[in-house]
Amino acid sequence: MNSLIIFARHPELGRVKTRLAAGIGSEAALAAYRTLLTHTRAVVAPLPVHKTAWLVGENSATAAANWTGFEQLPQPAGDLGQKMQAAFTHDFARPVEAAVIIGTDCPGLLTAHLEEAYAALQTHDLVLGPAADGGYYLLGMNRLHPELFANKPWSTATVRAETLADAARLNLRVHLLPELQDLDTVDDLRSWHQNPASATGPALPHAPQQPAR
């Protein structure tokens, strides 16, 4: 059995996409996040894997219903690396043959990217989905490598490079997926609307026009 880990937040006004909200307002940022959640659930729906949503926020009955069919767990304490390590540890204890983790911030993510990741883990130790901001939108492995989660400057432009450096030191065979863009800021939103993939991707709100110089 393979597994899929999703890190997500329950959609609550003022508590999601705060960097994006600084540019488009909290209501529009919440609408964008709801769209990204719907997109992510649609992308993962065809996968015949065990799916766990690790969630942050108020877990009302309505919020829980958004993840029907998923195992639902609260995200553990700690930084992002500690949270991811805990989630992978949980899944490999089942046990599973391969585990993949994603977030809900990538409007260009397709089912095909995930299928490629699982296929690659049959012959590689690690799969990484590079994000345009220097991080990654997907990480997959077929056994736990705690070194990949330690001493990282999370949410910075060097995370991917440092992760790949760790993989090289560990002599891991790495498969890289296509680079995609996470959506965290107004600039990311503008870039998404200039991306040809946006024509067939989820319909996200437009960012305000930049003032003329």
**pLDDT of the residue at 212:** 44
Separation of alpha carbons 157 and 190, rounded Å: 19
- CA dihedral of residues 22, 28, 30, 34 (deg, nearest 10): -140
**pLDDT of the residue at 62:** 80
The CATH superfamily holding the domain 2-199 is Spore Coat Polysaccharide Biosynthesis Protein SpsA; Chain A (3.90.550.10)
Please tell me the pTM assigned to this model: 0.95
State percent of the chain over pLDDT 90.
90
**pLDDT of the residue at 147:** 97
User: What does the pLDDT look like over 159-210, one tens digit per residue?
Assistant: 999 999 999 999 999 999 999 999 999 999 999 999 999 999 999 998 887 6
